[in-house]
A and B are shown apart, each in its own frame.
Chain A
Amino acid sequence: MKFKNRIQTNRFQLFSLLGVIVVLSVLLTSCDPDETQVVTNFTTITMQDEFDVAGAPNSDIWGFDIGRGNDGWGNKELQYYTDRSDNVVVEDGMLKITAVSESYQGAVYTSARLKTQGKFEQKYGRFEARIKLPWGQGIWPAFWMLGSNFDIVSWPQCGEIDIMEFKGQEPTIISGSLHGPGYSAASPVTKSFELTNDRFDTGFHIFGIEWGEDYVNYYVDDVLYNQITPEDADGEWVFDQPFFIILNLAVGGGYVGTPNSSTVFPQEMLVDYVRVYAAE
């Protein structure tokens, strides 16, 4: 009796254990795509600017958007973009984009926006930059990309990958987003990342994406904080074509609001490097 009883007990335990394993397996196979990671190694460097040569940015890589765009670059931004060294220069081993409070061509702020359009465009890969961000109400720096067919199909059909956007009045938080047809402007696929006991305007941080077929992974430093796949996009997935890179420092606009009396000028966005990798 005693022996039999023990056997039965063990069987019961065995069945319980099997049950747990089954439940776990179901959980693993049915889990949300946000929690799975597709791993592709992008190890071949295809573009790299370490900003080691002082002066104007390397014109083989970078061009500029100049002026105020249409309706403040579509966002009611307040700055006039220039390519003057007051607003954009390479020195001390860094790209410095400077937002200045000054009257210029009808605007009250000047700043700069660099782009690799027509100079460097790539489909898929790892795109990262090491940046120290500016701060203050109404300050809006970004490291982002647009589809290379931007001039043909226009926005948002061309697609937009925001690797990093930052509101100067929220110094501990950045966001990474995708805009495409049906999910753009105020309703992109987006996620924020907040630093613990640190902020983005006191030191350099690495902002990057790993972009492959049907996914964009977002990371800050060594933290992968989001994956966006076609399932997340409420519309056509337009991220299977080359994109170009944009680095800019906007002032004002709907996303951040207007600077106020506590906003300190000038503000500097410092970029230590931009590196792009492809799969072998």
Chain B
Amino acid sequence: MKKFKFISYFTFAIVGLLTTALVSCEREFSEDITLATFPTIPEVFTDNPVNLTDEFFISFDPADGANVNGFDTDNDAYRGTQAIKIDVPAPNDPDGGFIGGIFLDRGEGRNLTEYTALTFWAKGSTTASVGLFGFGTDFIADKYAVSLNEITLSTAWRKYIIPMPDPSKLVQEKGMFIFSAGTESTGDLGYSIWIDEIRFEKLNTFAQARTSILGGEDVTRQVYNGELVVDGVQQTVNLGDGSELVVNIASGYLDFHTSDPTVVQIDAQGKIMVVAEGTATITASLNGVEATGSLIVESKGEFIPAPTPTQDAANVISIYSDEYTNVNIDFYNGFWQPYQTTTSADIEVNGDNILGYENFNFVGHQFSDPTVDATSMTHLHMDILIPGALPSNAKFIVTIKDFGANGADGGGDDKTQKVTLLSSQLKGDAWTTIDIPLTLSQRSKVGQFIFENGGSAVTNLYMDNVYFYKQ
């Protein structure tokens, strides 16, 4: 946000300068005039980082499992004396199971508008597939991020090209390079990557860029008023050898268009806001060229929040609510493989957080550290909202699981209480308040809820105010 404002001021400054020059001088610009610009240095790393500080590498967050120990330089270089060497850890490495981060220009940023691509040379100790290489990620706004994903390395040096979708946007870029690598492709065996000669270049050998949003498909989404993000932005270019290259690009490169501004508005910064009930189609263009794919927004208008809980906080153990303090939570979606299809699409409406689930078949909440002693509690409460008309076969199954003496999932001592709600007990397009009397005799170590649709057509739902209470 801060970065964006700075760009605004910069643009304004140039316009100011131009205006001044134009009104105060009737002649053409003198040949001596140079408009203020940021450095245009193309090199990022040759034998050393170029025009970057010693602290140019910023790792992903170790709290997310990033290993900060595998980043070094090595004299096995493609050219010159030094290359970057990255030791990709195995997933069970105590220092972190993957490695990645960015090369940040800690100065004012660079003007890259005269270049067309980021290029570098790389090789691997094995033909591993690297998660991503790219640029434009600065860990601030990531407005102009571009990445090449799932790149299979060669064990010999090979040149990689990452085209810029629109160089004219990169007037002050700080994200010089990004990589992320794990061992998904090597059967969890660690390996090394060497990277050398990272630079921006003016290459004219690739062309015919084609941009798409949402995989080039026309996607319909039912939403409520609020901000909307269009994802799945890709660009395909034809390389000099005739092959096609696909990169993932940030939506900051696009201009969005709305078919109905009374339903969907797009502000000057490209922020998409759903403002009223109705239907509108969002399309995009990059530098004036239409992207394929569109988002058809079916807005249901203002989101009506779930009823505010009225229980006294002293009588509540809260799992998910804004009203009470929640217990320590492992997750609100376990992404249980391989059968779970449920993805999360949580929303926030006027400060009220709501769990959202899409492609719902089943999903779980877990709170095992510590487990919850619900012995004195009498009920489990939750509010759920199933958008759209209620399917005639609608079903919603809640399972409460106590982990038993071992306090852990499994081990033969778990006990469960399962409650099935049928369509007669559920509502479409409105909140259903569910209060389940607790019948589970053993409930001193409750650690998990499982929610299922029982094979019914309930595939989207919102959930709020999940808590135990006593009457």
The chain A residues found within 8 Å of chain B, CB to CB, are 135-137, 167-172, 197-199, 201-202, 262, 264
Binds A, one of B156-164, B190-198, B237-245: B237-245
Q: Whole-angstrom distance between the alpha carbons of A167 and B238 in the complex?
A: 14
Residues of B within 8 A of A170 (CB): 241-242
Q: Whole-angstrom distance between the alpha carbons of A273 and B241 in the complex?
A: 28
The chain A residue with its CB closest to the CB of B201 is A197
Q: For chain B residues 208-261, which have a beta carbon within 8 Å of chain A?
A: 208, 210, 238, 240-242, 244
A46 to chain B, nearest CB (A): 35
A–B pairs, 28, beta carbons within 8 Å: A135-B207, A135-B208, A135-B238, A136-B238, A137-B242, A167-B242, A169-B242, A170-B241, A170-B242, A171-B205, A171-B207, A171-B240, A171-B242, A172-B205, A197-B203, A197-B204, A197-B205, A198-B205, A199-B204, A199-B205, A199-B207, A199-B240, A201-B207, A202-B204, A202-B207, A262-B244, A264-B208, A264-B210
Residues of A within 8 A of B240 (CB): 171-172, 199
Q: Whole-angstrom distance between the alpha carbons of A136 and B205 in the complex?
A: 14
B160 to chain A, nearest CB (A): 17
The chain A residue with its CB closest to the CB of B207 is A202
**Which 3 A-B pairs have CB atoms at the shortest separation, nearest pair first?**
A169-B242, A202-B207, A198-B204
B207 to chain A, nearest CB (A): 5
B291 to chain A, nearest CB (A): 14
A28 to chain B, nearest CB (A): 37
Q: Whole-angstrom distance between the alpha carbons of A131 and B207 in the complex?
A: 17
A274 to chain B, nearest CB (A): 25
Q: Whole-angstrom distance between the alpha carbons of A181 and B97 in the complex?
A: 67
A6 to chain B, nearest CB (A): 48
Q: Whole-angstrom distance between the alpha carbons of A136 and B210 in the complex?
A: 13
Q: Whole-angstrom distance between the alpha carbons of A262 and B245 in the complex?
A: 11
The chain A residue with its CB closest to the CB of B206 is A199
Of B204, B242, B244, most buried by chain A (CB within 10 Å of CB) is B242
Residues of A within 8 A of B204 (CB): 197-199, 202
- In-complex Cβ contact of A201 among B203, B208, B210, B241 (8 A): B208
B116 to chain A, nearest CB (A): 10
Residues of A within 8 A of B203 (CB): 197
> What is the interface residue range for chain B against chain A?
10 to 19
Q: Whole-angstrom distance between the alpha carbons of A202 and B210 in the complex?
A: 14
Residues of A within 8 A of B207 (CB): 135, 171, 199, 201-202
Q: Whole-angstrom distance between the alpha carbons of A264 and B240 in the complex?
A: 16
Q: Whole-angstrom distance between the alpha carbons of A197 and B240 in the complex?
A: 9
Residues of B within 8 A of A198 (CB): 204-205
Q: Whole-angstrom distance between the alpha carbons of A264 and B210 in the complex?
A: 10
Q: Whole-angstrom distance between the alpha carbons of A201 and B206 in the complex?
A: 10
Q: A172-B240, A199-B207, A262-B244 are in contact. List 13 more A-B contacts (CB 8 A).
A: A135-B207, A135-B208, A167-B242, A170-B242, A171-B207, A171-B238, A171-B242, A172-B205, A199-B240, A201-B208, A202-B204, A202-B207, A264-B210
Residues of B within 8 A of A172 (CB): 205, 240
The chain B residue with its CB closest to the CB of A168 is B242
Q: Whole-angstrom distance between the alpha carbons of A172 and B241 in the complex?
A: 8
Q: Whole-angstrom distance between the alpha carbons of A264 and B216 in the complex?
A: 14
B202 to chain A, nearest CB (A): 8
Q: Whole-angstrom distance between the alpha carbons of A172 and B244 in the complex?
A: 14
Q: For chain B residues 125-143, which have a beta carbon within 8 Å of chain A?
A: none
B12 to chain A, nearest CB (A): 34
The chain A residue with its CB closest to the CB of B210 is A264
A101 to chain B, nearest CB (A): 16
Residues of B within 8 A of A169 (CB): 242
Residues of B within 8 A of A135 (CB): 207-208, 238
Q: Whole-angstrom distance between the alpha carbons of A15 and B242 in the complex?
A: 55
Q: Whole-angstrom distance between the alpha carbons of A135 and B244 in the complex?
A: 12
B446 to chain A, nearest CB (A): 53
The chain B residue with its CB closest to the CB of A198 is B204
Residues of B within 8 A of A202 (CB): 204, 207
The chain B residue with its CB closest to the CB of A261 is B244
Of A172, A199, A262, most buried by chain B (CB within 10 Å of CB) is A199
